[in-house]
Each structure stands twice: as structure tokens, then as C-alpha cells.
Amino acid sequence: MPAANPTVVASSPSSLPAKSAPNKSGNSHRVGSTKMSPEALIAIIVGDALVLVLVSLLLYCYFWRNFSTKMRQGKGGSKLLETEKIVYSSSAYSSAQPGYERGRMVFFEGVKRFELEDLLRASAEMLGKGGFGTAYKAVLDDGNVVAVKRLKDAQIGGKTQFEQHMAVLGRLSHPNIVSLRAYYFAREEKLLVYDYMPNGSLFWVLHGNRGPGRTPLDWTTRLKIAAGAARGLAFIHSSCSPLKLTHGNIKSTNILLDKTGNARVSDFGLSVFVPPPPATSSAPRSCGYRAPETLDGRKLTQKSDVYAFGVLLLELLTGKCPSAVDNGGSGGGYGGLVDLPRWVQSVVREEWTAEVFDLELMRYKDIEEEMVGLLQIAMACTAASPDQRPKMSQVVKMIDEIRGVAGSPSHEAGFESTSESPSLSEDTYGASQ
């Protein structure tokens, strides 16, 4: 009696024993299984699905981490998704270092004092990066909120020069400027402390969240912001007349809004610390809206401020970013920006003035005359020749005429002098912020 063929079992526990089949000679042989049980098939499918889910989860975590990092770095002017600490290098203040000289916080009159260590302990949110460094919103332990600018890419001649210039800026107090409240100077660290403005910048309210669900910036508010910014800049120009102070960095991100919606000019007086442009460039990296005469490296002046303010008015009227205007390939760009004044002039020259204005303004009635009036002011400010541009005090009067607001004597007086001992501005330091 022939011995039975042994059964061979595959290494997989879910495999079935192979079946024998007779060959032509009548002898049987073993053949590998070609069928699979339903349980095994289900197990394989479930396993593949789990692997797919795991890979998808890993990819999601990877890309979300990168996205969060970009948001924390302030890309696109966005705020941080989570709170982070201001990172100040404490090694710069170590008494063990040769030539050590500890810096100190210097406050201007009427400001509540705090120490550098209070800033180091404060939770901070990055507000944005500019040509002079990074700005943070800092919440102190006592609940007060301040804005801190950490100067980085600034060319500072020395401690004495820095302190003298800060003393001038710290004296300036006006309802339409962001007051400098304190500063810190050390060899490796320069900090400026300002009032914190809770309602962001003109750039954000004008350009942010355009699309469904957006609340447009109405004409009355735009005109109010233009008037406030003009007053702030006129005050800077008229303060300390012998020095002929300039702003040097006028742009919509430097026009901030306080808790009542008033425009406040920020970042003024720092243009003196702008390093010279690289040999391959004729303009600094961050210089606001550049006047044509400054593109060859000439000094910034009050007239170049007027030009930049004119571009700001055009931005309010058109709703367009100067860097995002379609110039039709005509080569009107300069300094990395498209020439918004040249674009507007070309449209007006073709007698298509209505095409200039922001479509979001078309819903309001009986404002055409006011818009054209502000457009004429903007075009006067952006005249190619500096001598043809008006002074900022004149711009204030022209905007007030459009608004039907008579010039206040107190405001006019404010253009000619500055307080020797400034008090707090209308927003009490740290209140409701």
C-alpha cells in the first residue's frame, strides 16, 4: 500500500494546505495554493488601509508644522498662531565679558517704569518684521501691554548719537503719532518701546480678507484715516524745526489704528539709522514708498515724505497695493514696487478717472466729488519735481476742506512746536489693550 503524500503547509498561517492532483502517470504531486480565505483578504485590506492612514497622518503633521512655522515668522503680515517668548540674548549683558557695560531702560515722562527683566519675562506675539527689525506685542506681568521694536539691521554710530536722537523722538507727543515711551541701549541690543495700537494697521483693514464676508472700509473712515495720518506727519515735520525731522518710511503698514480708530503714524525718525544700500542696489530694503529723487541714493527729505504720503492716498483711493498694481509690462516699476502714481496718471490721462477708484467705494452715493478732490491732492503730492509738492501742513488743510472740517487752532499750533514735557496721549498707557 503506497504511503500517503505528506501535507505541506505554507509559512503564512492563513494559507490553506495545498491540494494534490494526479498527473498523467497517475502519480500525485503537491501544488501551491492559488486561493485565499475571506478572512485573509479582509486582513490584508485592513492592513493596507491602516498603512495609508498612518502615512497620511504623518504627511499632515509635517505640512501643518511647516505652515505653523511660517505663521510664527509673521509671513504675509499675519499674527502668530500661538504665544512665544521674545528671545533676547542674555549673554550680551554678562558681567564676565571683557568691556562689559550693562544697558538700562530709559523712560520718558509720564510712563510707568519697568525693567528689562520684565520684558524678558513677558509673553510676546510677533507683530511683523520691517527694515529696522522685528516688532512684538509684549504683555507684562502686571497686565500692561506695550509694543517693542528690536532694532537689528540699523546702522548706529554710537551710544551718544543714539541717545540724543531718542531724546528728540521721545519728546514728540501728538494724538496722531505712536509715542516712543522708552528705549534700551546695550552693545548687542537696542530696544524701542511704544504704545500698543490694538486695531492693527491701515494695510490690514484695507487689504486684508478681501472676498466674501469682508466688511469694506467705507469712504468716511478712509477720509478720516487720511486726515489723521496727514496731521501726524505734519506734526513730525514741524517739530524741532532746526532738525527738519523726516519720517523716511511712510507706508500703510506704518499707519496704525488706536482703540477709537484714529490713525497713528508709527516708525518715524528711524531713517537716520538706515544702512547704505548694497553696491548692487540703489535703494534700501525697506524705505516706504520711494520718491523718484531718492532712487539714486540721495538723502530722504520732507518732500520725499510728501511723495510717499501721496502714494498712501492713492492706495486708499484705489484699494490697490503699490506692489500689486498691474502695470501692463510698461516697466513703470522701481525699487521692487510698481509705480502706482504712474499707473493712476496714465488712467486719468485717458479720461477714465472713474476706473481709478476702488470698486468697494462704488456702493456709496454722493462721494464722487470728494474722491476726485482727494485724488487731486494725491497727484499734487506725487509730482515728479519735489518743489512742486505741497507741504504737509497744506495737505492737512486741503483734506479738511474736503471733509468740511475747519482747522482747529490747537491743531495748527501743534504743527509749529512740540511739548518739552509730553504727557500721555489720549490712549492712557496700557489701558484697555
Lookup: cell for 54: 498612518
**Given a cut of 80, is residue 60 above it in pLDDT?**
no
pLDDT in tens, 221-278: 999 999 999 999 999 999 877 778 899 899 999 999 999 999 999 999 887 777 665 5
DSSP 8-state code for residue 369: H
Quick one: 209 and 156 in the same domain? Answer: no
Q: Please indicate, yes or no, if residue 30 is contained in any of the structural domains.
A: no
Distance between CA atoms of residues 310 and 379, nearest Å = 7
If phi > 0 it is left, if psi is from -120 to 50 it is alpha, else beta; for residue 209 that is left
Quick one: 286 and 187 in the same domain? Answer: no
Closest CA to 417 of 242, 239, 178, 243: 239
**Given a cut of 60, is residue 206 above it in pLDDT?**
yes
**Given a cut of 80, is residue 32 above it in pLDDT?**
no
Could you give the number of structural domains in the chain? 2
Lookup: cell for 118: 520684565
The whole-chain average pLDDT of the chain stands at 74
Q: Please indicate, yes or no, if residue 245 is contained in any of the structural domains.
A: yes
149 assigned ligand-binding residue? yes
Domain containing residue 129? 84-88+101-195
Q: Please indicate, yes or no, if residue 350 is contained in any of the structural domains.
A: yes
Quick one: 167 and 225 in the same domain? Answer: no
Quick one: 248 and 345 in the same domain? Answer: yes
pLDDT in tens, 121-180: 888 788 888 777 888 888 888 888 889 998 876 667 778 888 888 999 998 999 999 999
Quick one: 286 and 373 in the same domain? Answer: yes
CA atoms lying within 13 Å on the CB side of residue 376: 10
- State the pLDDT confidence band at 412, using cuts at 50, 70 and 90: very low
135 forms bridges with which residues in the sheet?
A: 128, 149
Query: How far are the Cα atoms of 30, 36, 88 from residue 7, in angstroms, in the given order?
Result: 8, 17, 75
Which of 39-43, 165-169, 284-288 has the least mean pLDDT? 284-288
**Given a cut of 70, is residue 34 above it in pLDDT?**
no
Quick one: 255 and 293 in the same domain? Answer: yes
Distance between CA atoms of residues 17 and 423, nearest Å = 94
Quick one: 182 and 285 in the same domain? Answer: no
Lookup: cell for 264: 497713528
Give the residue-averaged pLDDT of 98-120: 73
**What is the domain-level CATH number for residue 336?**
1.10.510.10
Closest CA to 172 of 267, 55, 105, 69: 267
Q: Please indicate, yes or no, if residue 286 is contained in any of the structural domains.
A: yes
Q: Please indicate, yes or no, if residue 20 is contained in any of the structural domains.
A: no
Q: Please indicate, yes or no, if residue 283 is contained in any of the structural domains.
A: yes
Quick one: 380 and 259 in the same domain? Answer: yes
- What is the per-residue pLDDT for 405? 74
Quick one: 127 and 211 in the same domain? Answer: no
Quick one: 230 and 304 in the same domain? Answer: yes
How far does the chain reach from its first CA to its final CA, in angstroms? 100
Q: Are strands 123-130 and 189-195 parallel, antiparallel or unpaired?
A: unpaired
Distance between CA atoms of residues 281 and 295, nearest Å = 9
**What is the domain-level CATH number for residue 124?**
3.30.200.20
Q: Please indicate, yes or no, if residue 304 is contained in any of the structural domains.
A: yes
54 vs 337, higher pLDDT = 54
Quick one: 251 and 152 in the same domain? Answer: no
Quick one: 257 and 130 in the same domain? Answer: no
